[in-house]
């Protein structure tokens, strides 16, 4: 071995036997010890970098939060991280958030409670795990609301790969993790099976995690309302390939007709298209039927998650299917009036907000059966059962009112 063969050379160089006085010998020996000590430190650093490990005595205890879900899910849990930081159980821990690319810029821009934010790169999971393992991880907590079936292998690899004593998740009615994933955890926190608004469910989960009762906290505020121009109407388009298409994919022809009716009746308004869940072909299909293209500002696939709160905060109105943008708008202080087009899926779980400026437009069939429904997770009701006329009349009632300007 290299170091075994080189050791005699080092000893000969520093542990010399000469006729010099004993004091000189002692100086040389001490110098040799210092040298060897530094060599070993360098060797240790090389091993740490190569294997992705850390010497735990010199690294603070760390709790890692992992989630493979969306922006809206994150917003409904984000302010509970402050409770982690101030809790008796984790107050001395470093907080690391492991997030997907659509959340990375957002978390780094708006949340200072995390000591470190690590980007989850699907093609580089091994490197991600090595990076996480450079921390002295005591707990990794999977806070994913919904483990996508085609992404379950990522969750399994992350949870199994991170060297942590405690691997924690929660069990409730939306978690569809496969059995082999659930076996990766050392502890599963059970949440009451009754339907709870997601913000409340997070409060219960984090209370159980830290062993303290987290009192009611208001919805987190991202940014103050900074409406640059009250003539802006935000519109979110979702394409056919979007996740939960039945719940979010209102037909593009419906959007075109709705835009034309708004622009024709309110000539002072401009519509701003936002979002990224639409292809260029679907975008062309939408614009082909727009009558006043000069009053439609296209930012599709051009904005990052970090920019969304500021952009949405500049709108007077926001029209969107049930998505993370509703939660962004809800978290903006005195934010825009929101019209959420929804088929009713996840009713009482992610909607409705108890905020007057957020209005929901449902299919008639859903409204008729609402009192009889026990669960609304996967309703067999299409969002396209909502006619354009119903959406326009709801929006028109608000737009027709005398505008109230923000002071």
**Per-residue pLDDT, 403:** 52
**Per-residue pLDDT, 188:** 84
Distance (Å, whole) CA 23 – CA 28: 9
Q: Tell me the C-alpha to C-alpha distance, in Å, between residue 94 and each of 56, 115, 120.
A: 13, 6, 18
Q: Which CATH number describes the domain made up of 232-399?
A: 3.40.50.2000
Mean pLDDT by 10 residues, the chain (407 residues): 38 41 48 58 62 56 88 88 91 92 88 88 87 91 67 81 90 51 79 78 91 76 58 83 62 94 95 85 90 92 87 92 90 90 86 90 90 68 93 94 50
Distance (Å, whole) CA 94 – CA 90: 8
User: Which residue is listed with tokens 């929101």?
Assistant: 338
Distance (Å, whole) CA 338 – CA 330: 9
Does CATH place domain 59-210 in 3.40.50.2000? yes
**Per-residue pLDDT, 48:** 60
**Per-residue pLDDT, 90:** 94
Taking each helix axis from N to C end, the angle separating 2-14 and 22-51, rounded to the nearest 10 degrees, works out to: 160
**CB contact at 8 A, 143 and 159:** no
């Amino acid at each position: 071995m290299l170091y075994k063969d080189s050791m005699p050379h080092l000893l000969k160089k520093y542990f010399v036997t000469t006729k010099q006085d004993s004091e000189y010998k002692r100086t040389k020996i001490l110098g040799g010890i210092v040298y060897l000590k530094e060599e070993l430190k360098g060797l240790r650093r090389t091993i740490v970098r190569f294997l992705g490990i850390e010497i735990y005595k010199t690294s603070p205890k760390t709790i890692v939060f992992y989630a493979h879900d969306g922006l809206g899910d994150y917003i409904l849990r984000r302010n509970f991280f402050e409770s982690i930081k101030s809790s008796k159980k984790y107050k001395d821990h470093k907080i690391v958030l492991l997030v997907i690319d659509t959340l990375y810029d957002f978390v780094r821009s708006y949340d200072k409670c995390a000591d470190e934010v690590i980007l989850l790169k699907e093609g580089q999971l091994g490197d991600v795990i090595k990076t996480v393992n450079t921390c002295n991880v005591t707990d990794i907590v999977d806070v994913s609301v919904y483990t996508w079936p085609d992404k379950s292998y990522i969750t399994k690899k992350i949870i199994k790969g991170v060297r942590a004593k405690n691997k924690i998740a929660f069990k409730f009615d939306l978690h569809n993790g496969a059995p082999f994933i659930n076996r990766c955890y050392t502890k599963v926190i059970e949440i009451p099976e009754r339907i709870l608004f997601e913000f409340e469910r997070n409060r219960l989960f984090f209370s159980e995690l830290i062993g303290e009762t987290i009192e009611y906290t208001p919805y987190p505020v991202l940014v103050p309302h900074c409406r640059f121009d009250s003539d802006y109407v935000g519109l979110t388009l979702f394409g056919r390939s979007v996740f939960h298409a039945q719940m979010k994919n209102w037909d593009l022809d419906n959007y075109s007709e709705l835009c034309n009716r708004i622009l024709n009746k309110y000539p002072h308004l401009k519509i701003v298209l936002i979002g990224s869940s639409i292809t260029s072909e679907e975008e062309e299909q939408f614009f082909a039927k727009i009558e006043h293209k000069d009053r439609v500002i296209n930012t599709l696939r051009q904005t990052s998650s970090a920019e969304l709160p500021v952009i949405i905060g500049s709108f007077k109105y926001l029209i969107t299917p049930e998505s993370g943008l509703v939660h962004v708008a809800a978290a903006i202080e005195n934010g825009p009036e929101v019209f959420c087009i929804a088929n009713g899926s996840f009713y009482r779980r992610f909607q409705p907000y108890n905020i007057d400026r957020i209005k929901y437009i449902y299919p008639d069939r859903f409204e008729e059966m609402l009192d009889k429904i026990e669960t609304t997770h996967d309703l067999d009701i299409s969002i396209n059962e909502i006619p354009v006329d119903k959406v326009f009349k709801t929006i028109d009632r608000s737009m027709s009112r005398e505008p109230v300007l923000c002071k």
